Amino acid sequence: VPVALLIDGHCHVIRAGDLDRAEFELACGEADLPAPAGVSYLDSQLGLAIRRWCAPVLGLPAHASFDDYLARRAELGWSAASAALIGAAGLAALLVDTGLDVPDVVGMAQLETIAGAPVHEVVRLERVAQDLMGRVDAAGFAEAVAAALASRASDAVAVKSIIAYRYGLDIPPQRPSPAEVVEAAGRWFRTGGRLTDPVLLRHVLWAGVDTGLPLQLHTGFGDRDVRLSRADPALAREFLEATVASGVPVVLLHAYPYHRNAGWLAQVYPHVYLDLGLTVGHLGLRADSVLGEFLELAPFGKLLFSTDAYQLPELYLVGATQFRHSLRRLLDGWIADGALRPADAGRITEQIGAANARRVYGARLGRSAG
């Protein structure tokens, strides 16, 4: 089954500059604290996958040690190593969530040069709202959110919500009333801090729906900031019910370990899609089994490839290569069983890898954002 270029439907920017071993190791997973003595985050499924898939791209034998790998990476320099690693991922386009606040990252134009593929912006809703702090009054908040989104969304291919992080997916489905929004905005502007007020989060989420752009919704695991049990996409059922008539595509990101719940949602709601990012890249060899679970209930036209790569260029390559490898192994098994023909396997591979993304995210894909 030939695998063409992939559209990376959800990823982030990479760090600019050479990383020491401790920084590299922390960037390899969702932990933000160093591992305890005697434990390395590199001694893991993702570590094995990096040694297997990335070492040969930097001119080393597969499974070279991390000492050798990091020495080779430093010798090449972060920029050349990044271009080699992301280039080898075979991406047709990158949809980049620009809402994270981290120092020392490359800009979008620089990422486009390094990746050798068009990059497109996904606007993070909570970030747009946060940027209004101190610039508008409570009475003008709702209008300012709409105006800021209209301006940001004119160049974006999607919006994204992290309400699962800031509150949880168990939200009342309806829009808050204008009076509720003014009152909550007044409270937030007096106390300051991160946007965690459930009324404002719901308002901003609906403002995202109003843009008409596909809405990416963080679900499932992530860093330790997320209350995992409240990130089960099944909890968003009332919201999905309330948005089905809008026709706005809702793309459930990550989902793991609730990806089977997400598969059911993708089956019963015409506007719900399921993104494979983060999960497949981080599971290494186990991606074979979990990909099989993603392909249980969800129609194949509802599944979208992504890497969710962040900070490290390795995560683009591992995400893309492990996906291709695991999907091929899965579908080869189905062919051997007589469940489908090679032509069907090729069509499913093309759908998940790029065709579904082109349909959901639209004609802007593939055109340079710069």
Q: How far is the CB of 105 from Zn ion (least distance, A)?
A: 13
Nearer of residues 185 and 226 to Zn ion, judged by Cβ: 226
**Residue from 356, 339, 280, 289 nearest 315 by CA:** 280
Looking up tokens 């291709």 gives 324
Query: Rounded to the nearest whole angstrom, what is the least distance from the CB of residue 335 to Zn ion in the complex?
Result: 33
Structure tokens at 239: 């919201």
Compare residues 55 and 106 and give the one whose CB is closer to Zn ion. 106
Nearest residue (CB) to Zn ion, 206 versus 221? 221
Q: Is residue 121 within the footprint of Zn ion (CB under 5 A)?
A: no
Among 25, 112, 308, 314, contact with Zn ion (rule: CB under 5 A) = 308
At 58, list the tokens.
Answer: 């930097």
Comparing CB distances to Zn ion, the nearer of 108 and 133 is 108
Indicate the pairing of strand 250-254 with strand 215-219. Answer: parallel
Choose the binding region for Zn ion from 63-71, 199-207, 209-217, 306-314 (rule: CB under 5 A): 306-314
CB of 97 to Zn ion, least distance (A): 6
Which residue of this chain has its Cβ atom nearest to Zn ion in the complex? 308
* Closer residue to Zn ion in complex, CB, 49/185: 49
**What is the size of the binding site for Zn ion (CB under 5 A)?**
1
Segment contacting Zn ion by CB under 5 A, of 26-34, 76-84, 173-181, 308-316: 308-316
Report the interface residues with Zn ion, using CB under 5 A. Answer: 308
